[in-house]
Amino acid sequence: MNRRATAVAALALAFATLPAFSSAVERSLRPMARGEMEADAPVRPQARPAPRVAAEAFIEELTAELPRIHPRPRPPSEQIAAAESRPESLAFLGPDTSPYPWARPKSVEQQALFGKRKKRKGSVCGNIDIQGEKVGNVPGKIRGCGIKDAVRVTSVSGVALSQSAVLSCEAAEALNTWVAKSVKPTFRRRGPVTELRVAAHYTCRTRNNQKGARISEHGRGKAIDISGFKMSDGEVITVLNGWKGGTTRPLLEKVWKQACGPFGTVLGPRSDRYHSDHFHLDVARYRSGPYCK
């Protein structure tokens, strides 16, 4: 008998001597179908979960061995101690030398409130940012001119006018909005701007002083002409010279464009020869929207 036949015989003898429970699913070497396995496989009882009481008891036993840690009180602050021991006669210290931020002195608060009351007292048109005085009704010399409830404006949003301007409150509000939202931010780095050069305000006349033309918005107190802007260092940027070029041209163009909105009509050097040296701003409204040129 050759070696292969000997090996087969030995393997057959080994299988013959195995215990007779090869039919059990868990010890069978033969793969079985899923349905047959589920039918013949013995049902093993599942272990029950541990009772909740036992788990809680285990946690209590485990935590009982841990040390009890309590929050310690915060140590006393040296700054607070220094502030409490500061004599009342000691002069007020600035923030850079004071070990504790002191309360603002009453004198400073009273001064601020006094300044605010004074500013409110000098305001017109119900706006604290528009300073001036009430003028009342201004009659016109010719038909179509005049202002009802006029005001004489001296400053808007903290920027002074080179000369007080007689305007309607509608025009004063538009001027204040333009200065606050456009003029001051535009000239912030170069300035700040401290004064508006006023070329014209209320005057009873026709448009461009032309005979037979319509009454100008200046004659109704709804217009103001601005010819330049003065900076805090004394520099004056004029529309006539600044519009010619250089670093001032972009600044002037920006405030000129942004005036269109608060004002209904905005005219500048691009419009005609009558406005080559100033911006004409008025609050006339049109159905087609603002007219800016």
The range of the structural domain enclosing residue 136 comes to 107-292
- Range with the poorest average pLDDT among 22-36, 61-75, 215-229: 22-36
The total domain count for the chain is: 1
Torsions phi, psi for 251 (to 5 deg)? -65, -45
What is the tens place of the pLDDT at every residue in 199-249? 999 999 888 778 878 899 999 999 999 999 999 999 999 999 999 989 999
- Is 271 or 6 the better-scoring residue by pLDDT? 271
Question: Which carries the bigger pLDDT value, residue 233 or residue 116?
Answer: 233
- Give the dihedral sign, CA 161/166/169/170: negative
Residue 31 lies in a domain: no
Specify if 19 maps to a domain. no
Q: Is residue 273 part of a domain?
A: yes
What number of CA atoms fall less than 13 Å from residue 12's CA on the CB side? 6
CATH number of the domain encompassing residue 275 = 3.30.1380
pLDDT of residue 214: 87
Mean pLDDT of 135-154: 92
What DSSP element (H or E) covers 140? Answer: none
Tell me what pLDDT residue 223 has: 95
Distance in Å from the first CA to the final CA of the chain: 119
| HEC-encoded secondary structure of 44-84 | CCCCCCCCHHHHHHHHHHHHHCCCCCCCCCCCCCHHHHHHH
Kindly state whether residue 260 falls inside one of the protein's structural domains.
yes
In a domain, 138, yes or no: yes
Choose between 59 and 226: higher pLDDT. 226
Residue 40, phi then psi, degrees to nearest 5: -90, -20
For residue 62, tell me if it sits in a domain: no
Percent of the chain with pLDDT over 90: 47
Beta strands 146-156; 127-139: pairing state: antiparallel
Whether pLDDT at 117 is above 70: no
Give domain status of residue 234, yes or no. Answer: yes
Q: Which amino acid is at 78?
A: E
- CA Rg, the chain, in Å? 46
- Could you tell me if residue 286 is inside a domain? yes
Between CA 218 and CA 224 the distance in angstroms is 7
- How many whole angstroms separate alpha carbon 210 and alpha carbon 281? 19
Contact 183, 229 (CB under 8 A): yes
The reported pLDDT for the residue numbered 239 is 97
